[in-house]
Each structure stands twice: as C-alpha cells, then as structure tokens.
A and B are shown apart, each in its own frame.
Chain A
Amino acid sequence: MKIGIVVFPGTWSDRDTFYALNEVIKINSEYIWHKDQSLNNCDFIILPGGFSYGDYLRTGAIASFSPIMEKVIEFSKQGGPVLGICNGFQILCESNLLPGILIKNKNLDFICERSFLKVNNQSIYSDQYKQNEIINIPISHGEGNFQLDKYNLDKLEEEERIIFRYSSQSGDETESYNPNGSVNNIAGIVNSKGNVLGMMPHPEKASEKILGGEDGKRIFTSIIENISQNV
C-alpha cells in the first residue's frame, strides 16, 4: 500500500505527516506536488495542514483549483479515501467534496493548543476508537470555525457524519469547550459515502508519546487497516 501526501505552495505539515506514517507507523508514503498530473497509484490521499497560497482569497480556495485537485476529486468520486487535515479540510470544503466552510475563529485568535475531542467511531477513519472516547489532539488554526446551513447540518447529524466534536476532558460538549465557534462543536466530518474525512485537529502531531501523546495515530491505523482489507 502507498499513501500520497499532496504538497501545495505554503503547505507546512507535510513532513510531520510523512514522519508519522513512514517512521512511526512504518508505512510507505510519498509526496505529490500540486502540479503533478497523477496520484501515482496511491491508495490513500492526504491533504496536510498549512497555508496553501498564503490563504489568499479564502483559506483553501486557490488550492482547490490546483491541477492535482482534479485527480483528487476524481479519485474520491470513485470511492478512494481522502483525508484533509486543517488546511486540507478547508480545501475539501472549497472543492465541494465536503459541505460547509471554515471561517475565522470566533475570537479572531490563531489558536495553537491541545484539544479534547469526542469520537463517533462510525467511520473507516475512526473505528479503532471506542464510541464516545475522549482523545487529545492539537489544533493549530486561525480559520477553524465550521459553518453550515441548518438543513445540511441536520442532515450531517442524522447521518452520523460528525466524527469528531470538541469537548472537555470528561466529554462535555457545551459552548465553553468550543475553541473556535464551530456549529455543534464540529471538529471533523465525513462525506455521505464516508470515504472523505476533513478535520481541523492535527493527528500527525499526536502520533508518538515523546510528542505528548499518540491519540492521533489510530486515525491513520484505522484507515490503513480498512484499505488493506479491501486491497
């Protein structure tokens, strides 16, 4: 199996993702430049965090028109797994692969801190967690405030597509534990087919004990295990 990490101008979490996969989890991943014309037979695509194109216009907007995104969109429509982390989530929303949009944090601050998340384990990216398990993964963003109209929000809730929500360490999902103003404390969602996940927290930065925790690692091992069973 091979994992592709897409690099745009301004991406900065590509190397942490590469390290978590190749050195910690010991699975083969490689970089794909945004001007490449092919996904090079990768089985799983990651759009990592960063500030693609300097966040000009709107976060993720310009990257969504990068040449490689045509291939990523085609791959995802055929059921291929795509994970967008932070700026990657913003790009997936701007590409219409996920509903909604990420706007400025409610307090306008750039937030860089560890956050607690409550897990819905009903996805190929999270089935190695227990239902409602509380995990600790860092966030690092200025535009992580997820917004969506009521009709589509209700649909996300009904279809159980909200995979991660911001919460307290004991699982309290009230507004006081919502760092950025996202509706319904949303930190990560999947598309209707379940093969595309977008999340603001950075699992690659929580993949080793020496970095303060390894709660993020199971997102990668969940999806890798699920792909291996289907290959």
Chain B
Amino acid sequence: MNFIYEIKITYKDSVNDPEGLTITESSQRIGFKEIKKIRSGKLFIINVESPNENEANIKIDEICDKLLHNPIIEKYSFNKI
C-alpha cells in the first residue's frame, strides 16, 4: 500500500531561530503589528510503500531520526495525508 505523509521539522523552542526572527521583524515593519512571533521550519512530503500503516509510521520515524532532523536543535512531527 502507498501512504503519503507530511513531515514537519522545526527548531526546538529553546533554540534561537534567526530566520524566524528576521521574518518577524520584517512583518512588523510592513504593518503586521498583530504578528508577534514567527518560527521557521521545513516541510517534507513523503510517499511510503508499506504493507500497513503501522509499519509505514515506523519507517517515517526512522528516516526522521537518521536523516531529516538533527535532535540537537530540531524536533519533528508527521501526519498521514
């Protein structure tokens, strides 16, 4: 079976995100005073061929741990779509 996942990688809350800070400052400068904080991140869309959803979830966890995120500064979450 083919499963499609969206994987979201973001900085841990304790990690400084210079890109997010710069975009926050820029949005306030152009008038979005209500926007108080922006954090940046990455999104991956992954197709997995797997006999069942449980095993597909395991593969997604594995690739996130091994390659897609660096646990020192990042965290990940995923949804099947």
Contacts and interface: CB of A to CB of B under 8 A. Distances in A.
Contact of A104 (B18, B68, B70): B18
Interface string A135-155: 000000000010111000000
B35 interface: no
Contacts, number: 31
16 contacts: A57-B67, A57-B68, A61-B70, A65-B67, A100-B72, A101-B73, A104-B18, A105-B18, A106-B16, A107-B18, A108-B18, A108-B19, A147-B15, A147-B73, A181-B16, A181-B18
Contacts of B19: 104, 108
B28 interface: no
Interface of B: 15-16, 18-19, 22, 67-68, 70, 72-73
B67 A61 contact: yes
Interface string A46-64: 0000000000011001000
Nearest to A103: B73
A204 interface: no
Interface residues of A, number: 18
Interface majority SS (helix, strand, loop, mixed), chain A: loop
Interface of A: 57-58, 61, 65, 94, 100-101, 103-108, 145, 147-149, 181
Contacts of B67: 57, 61, 65
A46 B15 CA distance: 30
A148 B70 CA distance: 12
Contacts of B22: 108
Nearest to B14: A149
Contacts of B18: 103-108, 145, 181
A105 B19 CA distance: 10
A147 B72 contact: yes
A106 B21 CA distance: 10
